[in-house]
Structure 1
Amino acid sequence: MSDRLPDSEFLSLVEQFTGPVKEMRPTKRGFSSDVLILVDGELGRFFVKGIRNASGGRREEFVRERLINDSVQSVSPRLSWHTDGGDWMALGFERVDAEPSRFEPGSPDLPAVLDLLGRIGEIPLPDLVANWPETRWDAFADGPEEARLLRGDSLIHGDVAPGNFLVGPAGGWAVDWSWPTRGAAFIDPAFLVLQLIAAGHHPENAEELVAQVPAWSKSDPQGIDVFARANLRMFRHRAERYPDQSWLRDMEATAQAWVDHRSA
């Protein structure tokens, strides 16, 4: 994310929903959008994200995030408005009193994060997600039989990370539903295990924490093993392809530690 504020064309596009802008400032989180700002306007206070209006993956992500919002408002801020005009697309969400969570050992945010994952797991699969199967790890599974273990009929957020799981006085919020899919119920909790290990937890302790989430405790351990190995292959592949991205090597080491623990 750039700290630059949006241009006048973008502001003209969104002011029809916000009213004249009194104040705006960049957010503390987010890297996947061209604009991420907090707006105080005459018509309300909003979290606004925007992208350049062009064909490709990010446009589809924006469309999915708009479409899924009605189904996830029990765990996510409400989408107040959206617009698609000229050079920009924008989504305007209600502002919530919350900050990016922290995943390190001893973090006071972890109970809220675990509760949030549990509530996501209780959301019935929306009809529109039925045709969005989870396939991101297929290329890194050891054949189609393993890939089938990642299938399922649960709603998957798919990007469990501190910046996407916000915690505040009223609880937790899952944001950035850019790629919701239908998959195995353990995928989001398994994502959290990987993130907890990256934040400094021992793999055993990370799994013990996530065992509080029903979608994890009721899942087939073989499917979780497949997910762990697929992530290791994925991060190894990407680290070799992008050697200047040191965080990919860090995540490869994290995934290796998890696979080693599950193989012991």
Structure 2
Amino acid sequence: MPPVTASGVRAGWESLPADVRAGIEDLLGAPVVAAENQSGGFSPGLAARVRCAGGRRAFVKAVGTPLNPESPGLYRREIDVAAALPPEVPAPRFRGSYDDGDWVALVFDEVDGRMPHEPWRPGELRRVVDALAGLSASLTPCPVPSPRLARDEMRDLMLSYRTLAADPPADLDPWERRHLDRLASLAESALDVVDGDTLVHFDVRADNVLLSGSRVWFVDWPWAFRGAAWIDSVLLLKNAAFHGHDPEPYLADHPLLAGVDPAHVTAVLAGFAGYFAEAGRRPPPPGLPTVRAFQLAQHATTLAWVRRRTGWD
């Protein structure tokens, strides 16, 4: 079982400012009479299933600068993406947003589903791995006008080993330290292969998935950009490795990965290993006390997979 799970310190419905609650209720068309707060994910904001007077149900997420100064900007990014998703995309339907300059809220149709079990169960993991092929097809060509681009959005992440190499931490993994320059070059090479014409979610993991009957839904889209169709599958298998699964058997027969040069997959994974190593050593941001421990835990499993794939001594 992973040593750390994805979790922030979330706000509850009643803790939101009264004018923010009123603005959300205007979007909903009726007062909220019940709110069931949801756990999981790295956000200090509200995530709640709500029931309104008259019976309407919805999912609401909201965050403000008092909770975390960066989070409202991410929610605004998600508004742009959510508003552009075609109806056939397996994502909850976006119904509207509230933005007063400090607080941002999004309203979606409620999905009667649950997150996969953590750690991943093999059957549920296989369902989501397979569902990514359909997700990719529904998002190609990229439906978002003027989207952010993979090479730009991934640049800093893929250059994390360059940052570490400039001043290697004393507690860096010995194998990682020995191959630091090679890892930096490998990760940087990913920037030449990540472009494409698919809208990439870029945060596919267990707590951003809902299972409902035979359907798989993908939620939380603030990081989305236009890029290669196979990126999300690599991220999901990185999360599977974090939960103790061997990701390699899923690579050979996956329709989005079978034709991808293995070196490209390894390069992206190396970039993430470097990012987790570098970001995990930073102070935690406001409202997210466990995010650095989560990143360092992911570093360990991602680095182990990179070491296995490179075969370097």
Shorter-chain TM band: 0.7 to 0.9
Letter paired with 2:85: S
Cα deviation code 1:20-43 (max 9, x no counterpart): 112112113333252211110135
> Relative contact order (C-alpha < 8 Å, sep 6+): which is higher?
2
TM-score (structure 1 length as normaliser): 0.87
Give the distance between the partners of 1:91 and 1:105, measured in 2 at CA.
28
Structure with more of its chain in strand, by fraction? 1
From 196, 204, 209, give the equivalent of 1:160: 204
Q: Please tell me whether the aligned partners of residues 21 and 41 of structure 1 are also in contact (alpha carbons under 8 angstroms).
A: yes
* TM-score of the aligned structures, taking structure 2 as reference length: 0.74
| Residue identity matched to 2:57 | R
Query: Unaligned 5+ residue runs, structure 1?
Result: none
Which residue in 1 is equivalent to 2:12? 4
1:251 CA drift (Å):
1.3
Give the conservation status (yes or no) of the 8 Å contact 2:242–2:298.
yes
Matched position secondary structure for 1:47: strand
**Structure 1 residues 27 and 179, CA, compared in 2 at 3 Å: closer, same or farther?**
same
- Judge which range, 85-94 or 47-56, deviates more: 47-56
Matched residues, percent identical?
Answer: 25
Cα pair 2:188 2:271 within 8 Å, conserved: no
CA contact (8 A) 1:80 1:92 kept: yes
Matched, 1:17 2:27: yes
Deviation at 1:47, TM superposition (A): 0.5
More displaced, 128-137 or 177-186? Answer: 128-137
Q: Select 1:45's aligned residue among 50, 54, 57.
A: 57
Counterpart of 1:16 in 2: which secondary structure? helix
Question: How far apart are 1:49 and its partner, in Å?
Answer: 0.5
- CA gap 1:75/1:100 in 2 versus in 1, 3 angstroms: same
Q: Post-superposition shift, 1:56?
A: 6.5
147-156 or 92-101, which deviates more: 147-156
What SS does structure 1 have at the residue aligned with 2:267? helix
CA distance in 1, matches of 2:58, 2:205: 22
CA distance in structure 2 between the aligned counterparts of 1:89 and 1:96, rounded to whole angstroms: 21
Paired residues of 1:65 and 1:178 also in contact (CA < 8 A) = yes
Structure 2 runs not aligned, ≥5 long: 1-8, 161-183, 285-289
Residues 4-13 or 14-23, more deviating: 4-13
Bigger CA drift: 162-171 or 57-66?
57-66
Q: Does 1:228 align with 2:249?
A: no
Kindly indicate whether residue 227 of structure 2 is the aligned counterpart of residue 187 of structure 1: no
The one of 53, 72, 94 equivalent to 2:109 is: 94
Match in the other structure for 2:310: 263
Distance 1:10 1:201, change over 3 A: same
1:96: how far off? Answer: 0.6
- The number of residues matched between the two structures is 261
- In 1, distance between residues paired with 2:242 and 2:42? 19
**Paired amino acid for 2:26:** Q
Residue in structure 2 matched with residue 35 of structure 1 by the alignment:
46
Tell whether the 8 Å contact from 1:150 to 1:184 is kept in structure 2 after alignment: yes
| Letter matched to residue 246 of structure 1 | A
Structural RMSD (CA): 2.6
Aligned mates of 1:32, 1:182 — CA distance in 2? 24
Deviation at 1:159, TM superposition (A): 0.4
